[in-house]
Structure 1
Amino acid sequence: MQETELRKSDLPVIPGKRYFTIGEVSDLCQVKSHVLRYWEQEFSQLKPVRRGNRRYYRRQDVLLIRQIRSLLYDKRFTIDGARNHLKGEVQKLDASQYKQLIRQTIAELEDVVDALDGIPSS
């Protein structure tokens, strides 16, 4: 399957971590690392935390990257069009983002249940 044929629903659930490396974000968003670095230059809202030469993306960065990816690949916006779209709107969650957050929350809760099942009862 080509990168442009992937839809938001095909993207993996975002794990319950605080920070993600560029490689992890690349896998989560199905976008190559060099594209992520380019988007950092083009979209002022995208500012990963930098420690030394390494980038660490937060959950909101991953959601923003998925939104940018959807605008560019699914809705066929130009870079300028996507930039203007993001600047012009207060970043509101659309239905697909709510679904992603719900799937993510369910996955995190399942991890908690699994962890609790492994604890012997006293």
Structure 2
Amino acid sequence: MQDESGQQAELPVIPGKRYFTIGEVSELCQVKSHVLRYWEQEFSKLKPVRRGNRRYYRRQDVLLIRQIRSLLYEQRYTIDGARAHLKGETQKQDTSKYNQLIRQMIAELEDVLDTLDGIPRS
């Protein structure tokens, strides 16, 4: 997605939770729920936990969805091309995943620091 200046809009920070509902993932990745369900059929690596009729996505699923979103929407890959890219570049994907996790941790730590800065010291 682009903001008013034509720049790529940043995706929201992923909260420190273990599981996310499809609605939460939809907001975190800025992708509609039906698209997520479709991607589950197209990308074998995307397998949310199922409990009854509900899907629960893990943090690694959210990161994978963000990567798929980037491949399809920003880098303009086809579904087949994105699938091949994900299969053929496991090492690069792991590095990218770790970089995303590190950026996520930094953002979360900065939030904690901001909160602590606002607390008066005695």
TM-score by length of 1: 0.78
| Matched residue type, 1:63 | L
Note the C-alpha offset of 1:109. 3.4
For 1:55, what is the secondary structure of its paired residue?
strand
Distance 1:65 1:6 in 2: 21
Pairs within 5 Å for 1:66-105:
66-90=66-90, 91-94=93-96, 98=99, 100-105=100-105
Note the C-alpha offset of 1:104. 2.1
**RMSD value, Cα:** 2.8
Given that residues 72 and 79 in structure 1 are in contact (C-alpha distance below 8 angstroms), is that contact kept between their aligned partners in structure 2? yes
Percent identity of equivalent pairs = 78
Indicate the residue corresponding to 2:57 in structure 1.
57
For 1:16-68, what per-residue CA distance to the aligned partner results, in whole angstroms no more than 9, with x for missing partners? 00000000000000000000000000000000000000000000000000000
For 1:10, what is the secondary structure of its paired residue?
coil
Listed as ranges, the gaps of 5+ residues in structure 1 are: none
Distance 1:67 1:110 in 2: 24
For 1:47-95, what per-residue CA distance to the aligned partner results, in whole angstroms no more than 9, with x for missing partners? 000000000000000000000000000000000000011011113233x
Listed as ranges, the gaps of 5+ residues in structure 2 are: none
| Matched residue type, 2:65 | I
Indicate the residue corresponding to 2:18 in structure 1.
18
- Structure showing greater relative contact order (alpha-carbon pairs closer than 8 Å, 6 or more residues apart): 1
Query: How many residue pairs were aligned?
Result: 114
